[in-house]
Amino acid sequence: MIQRAAPASIRKLFEFSSLRRQVDFRYYTAQVATSLRPCNYSADEVFPVVDWDKLGFGFTPTDYMYITKSCDVAGNFKQGQLNGYDNIQLSPSAGVLNYGQGLFEGTKAYRQDNGGLSLFRPRENAIRMQIGAERMCMPYPSTDQFVDAVKQTALANKRWIPPPGKGSLYIRPLLYGSGSILGLAPAPEYTFLVYACPVGNYFKEGTAPLNLYVDEEFHRASRGGAGGVKSITNYAPVLRAIRNARERGFSDVLYLDSVNKKYIEEVSSCNIFLVKGKVISTPIACGTILEGVTRKSIMEIAIDLGYQVEERLIEADELISADEVFCTGTAVGVAPVGSITYKGQRIEYKIRSELVCKKLYSTLVGIQKRHIEDKRDWIVDIE
């Protein structure tokens, strides 16, 4: 069982459960506006000239992208289609450009040892986009339409999916206000677009332990804001903090809460966990922390392996006594932390072969590769 602890004042800040109930209801009743449709790409795979061993987390244009637009006042989306990957046309007065009305998601497609292709928990990404869309006053594709769009994009670009063990096809669904708007209001039209590119390790260090810096000047999110959803507006404000940290030799930044400035929240692009004995703790998601799909999966795996998992407020001072610290995310996977610098003190963590995070990650990858039984139906085969 996952233990959650937070004062009532914080729980009231973000009524996630009520919003989730609204989204779940819409998920079960939403009309499916698309289905897998034929496209012009060839069924014969001609692999691109790529050095899979040197694949990092950089942009590589692939062949196709999926696109559809909202078509009525109810926010239903037209039947989507696959187009060749290209630039998009956008009015200078589009809601996403003027007011930042946009969301994005991130999921991955994998090539199995037998040559089959699969996705990992895409319905979770669909539901998270729906929660974000409710927060940002945007219509959204149904769960089935979202998953179908991701499947189509993966299949159309399947020649770009790296061989087993060499990486994955990162799939980026976007939802944004494409209609023209001058006054501050929701856009009159929305676009749902999905593109993809092959990726390897997110950090330039590869699989080496991360060196984090606790930033006491900049904050990623604030109470009542949009930190708990994957809004595009959450990311540009942290670029300066990341740049400052990397110029000093750090991998990334660990942010504190903006009110008390003593509770850790998350890293720029991933969630964080602390290990102490058989207890694994992660900051509670109360509106300022994005609830990652990998985060959720690792918590469930940890319980299966006999660990006690806590979601709670974690003071930065607890970093000093932790046995182990690690980060999770779709892009980063599960990454061990080698050191954290806080208030001028560098806290070092022993990197051992028996790290808890390595055991958790090994189990996660085993499930994704079908080497370990998928008891929860996390894996979605697409071919």
Indicate the CATH number for domain 210-369: 3.20.10.10
Using one digit for the tens of pLDDT, what is the confidence trace for 194-242?
A: 999 999 988 876 678 999 999 999 999 999 999 999 999 999 999 999 9
Tell me which amino acid residue 37 is.
Answer: R
CB 121 within 8 A of CB 146: no
Give yes or no: 375 in active site.
no
Given CATH 3.30.470.10, say whether it is the number of domain 64-200: yes
SS3 content of the chain, % helix, strand, coil (to 5): 25, 30, 45
- The whole-number pLDDT of residue 49 equals 86
Q: Where are the domains of the chain?
A: 64-200, 210-369
Band of residue 44 on the pLDDT scale cut at 50, 70, 90: low
The catalytic residue among 108, 151, 158, 230 is 230
Q: Which of 334, 97, 309, 140 is nearest to 229 (CA)?
A: 140
CA distance 296 to 378: 12
Question: Which two three-digit tokens encode residue 241?
Answer: 């903090």
How far apart, in Å, are the Cα atoms of 197 and each of 20, 60, 170, 172, 210? 30, 5, 5, 9, 24
- The whole-number pLDDT of residue 27 equals 31
CA distance 75 to 72: 6
11, pLDDT greater than 60: no
What are the residue ranges of helices labelled H in 252-338?
A: 293-304
Q: Is 44 exposed, middle or buried (0-12, 13-18, 19+ CB in 10 A)?
A: exposed
- For the chain, the residue count is 383
Using one digit for the tens of pLDDT, what is the confidence trace for 282-293?
A: 999 989 999 999
CA distance 307 to 300: 10
CA distance 263 to 258: 9
Domains 64-200 and 210-369 belong to one CATH topology? no
Average pLDDT (291-304) is 97
- The whole-number pLDDT of residue 32 equals 38
Average pLDDT (159-179) is 96
Average pLDDT (1-29) is 45
Average pLDDT (231-255) is 96
Question: Which two three-digit tokens encode residue 229?
Answer: 């959803």
Q: For the chain, give the percent of residues with pLDDT over 70.
A: 87
- Range scoring the smallest mean pLDDT among 17-21, 93-97, 305-309, 318-322: 17-21
- The per-residue pLDDT of the chain, averaged, comes to 89
